[in-house]
């Protein structure tokens, strides 16, 4: 058999076959199934109006999950640190208005009970991937957890961090590749598509990609999202803002809400190649 005919017998759909165990977020919504899911919204919850605008836009394109940080892990201590409890209330309010689910970050062990009360998915940030007491704290819950890969962590360390969560009983885990630090400085991080594909092979957990933090540039978010889906990602966590130029965090990598329909249409073309819907 020639190389050409060998590749021709490999259908793209077979690339998405995996041992992934779906994580049920609610009775009618799972991550890690035949659908690729979108989790979209601002980097930070800044105000009621800003977050409501994001929720409305996500609902309008048929999205199910609203992202937004209330507790923000910021590199510089003098930059915006998030609205905290008030941010959680805003998120829940606007998500409920539009029938959306909420993903938001728990930055510290003491935030976990509060965040679990407001969120449908608890996000653990890149800087906290090896914060073991935090991993154990979410491990004691049943609430779905999205574990971001540390930007200087190996795939092995990432998977072992997930084991710290499951060791306490919670196996409702999603892994999230959000870019790693390399020698390259033209982009904020480097999207590790190898890591997406390998994590899918080595673990039963759905793998989400975050093309916003992986690139740090709004103009690269769509190409990186396409690549992540082609590598097998089960979902995308993407930053959208009503006014990126005036965002209080990560404006340079945030797409305007008006770009959401185009983004969904373009990514949907890639998911369709693999026989998956983008929701
Ligand atoms: C975020 O999602 O806004 C965030 C802070 O991400 P990370 O932990 O990947 O930097
Ligand atoms: Mn961000």
Confidence check: pLDDT of 237 > 50: yes
> Which atom of ligand 1 has the smallest separation from the CA of 125?
8
Show Cβ contacts of residue 8 under 8 Å, excluding neighbours closer than 6 positions. none
pTM across the whole model:
0.94
Confidence check: pLDDT of 5 > 60: no
**Average pLDDT, stretch 236-248?**
98
> Which atom of ligand 1 has the smallest separation from the CA of 67?
2
Confidence check: pLDDT of 19 > 60: yes
Confidence check: pLDDT of 174 > 90: yes
Ligand 2 centroid to residue 125 C-alpha, Å? 10
Q: What is the pLDDT of residues 89-146, one digit of tens each?
A: 999 999 999 999 999 999 999 999 999 999 999 999 999 999 999 999 999 999 999 9
Show Cβ contacts of residue 34 under 8 Å, excluding neighbours closer than 6 positions. 275, 276, 277
If phi > 0 it is left, if psi is from -120 to 50 it is alpha, else beta; for residue 239 that is beta
78: tokens are 């003098």
CB-count exposure of residue 166 (10 Å: 0-12, 13-18, 19+)? middle
The per-residue pLDDT for 18 is 64
Q: Which residues are within 5 Å of ligand 2 (an ion), measured at CB? A: 43, 250
The per-residue pLDDT for 205 is 98
Residue 249 Cβ contacting ligand 1 at under 6 Å: no
Indicate the domain borders of the chain: 30-278
Q: Which CATH class is domain 30-278?
A: alpha beta
- SS3 assignment, position 184: coil
Give Rg (Cα) of the chain.
Answer: 18
10: tokens are 């490999």
pLDDT band of 170, cuts 50, 70, 90: very high
- Residue 83: name the closest of 120, 41, 51 by CA: 51
Confidence check: pLDDT of 185 > 60: yes
- Residue 106: name the closest of 78, 76, 133 by CA: 133
Q: Over the chain, what is the mean pLDDT?
A: 94
Ligand 1 centroid to residue 140 C-alpha, Å? 23
**Number of alpha carbons in the 13 Å side-chain half-sphere of residue 155:** 14
CA dihedral 136, 212, 157, 79 (to 10 degrees): -60
């Amino acid at each position: 058999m020639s190389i050409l005919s060998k590749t021709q017998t490999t259908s793209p759909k077979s690339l998405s076959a995996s041992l992934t165990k779906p994580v049920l977020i609610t009775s009618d919504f799972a991550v890690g199934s035949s659908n690729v899911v979108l989790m979209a919204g601002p980097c930070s919850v800044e105000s009621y109006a800003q977050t409501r605008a994001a929720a409305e836009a996500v609902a309008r394109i048929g999205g199910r999950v609203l992202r937004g940080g209330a507790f923000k892990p910021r590199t510089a201590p003098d930059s915006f640190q998030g609205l905290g409890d008030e941010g959680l209330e805003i998120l829940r309010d606007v998500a409920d208005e539009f029938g959306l689910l909420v993903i938001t970050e728990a930055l510290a062990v003491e935030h976990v009970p509060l965040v679990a009360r407001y969120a449908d998915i608890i996000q653990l940030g890149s800087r906290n991937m090896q914060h073991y007491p935090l991993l154990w704290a979410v491990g004691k819950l049943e609430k779905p957890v999205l574990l971001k890969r540390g930007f200087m962590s190996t795939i092995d360390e990432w998977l072992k961090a997930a084991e710290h969560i499951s060791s306490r009983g919670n196996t409702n885990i999603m892994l999230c590749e959000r870019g790693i630090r390399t020698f390259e400085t033209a982009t904020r991080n480097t999207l590790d598509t190898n890591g997406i594909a390998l994590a899918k092979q080595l673990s039963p957990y759905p793998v989400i990609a975050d093309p916003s933090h992986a690139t740090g540039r709004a103009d690269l978010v769509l190409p990186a999202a396409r690549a992540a889906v082609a590598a097998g990602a089960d979902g995308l966590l993407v930053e959208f803002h009503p006014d990126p130029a005036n965002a209080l965090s990560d404006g340079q990598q945030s797409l305007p809400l008006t770009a959401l329909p185009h983004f969904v249409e373009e990514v949907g073309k890639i998911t369709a190649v693999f026989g998956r819907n983008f929701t």
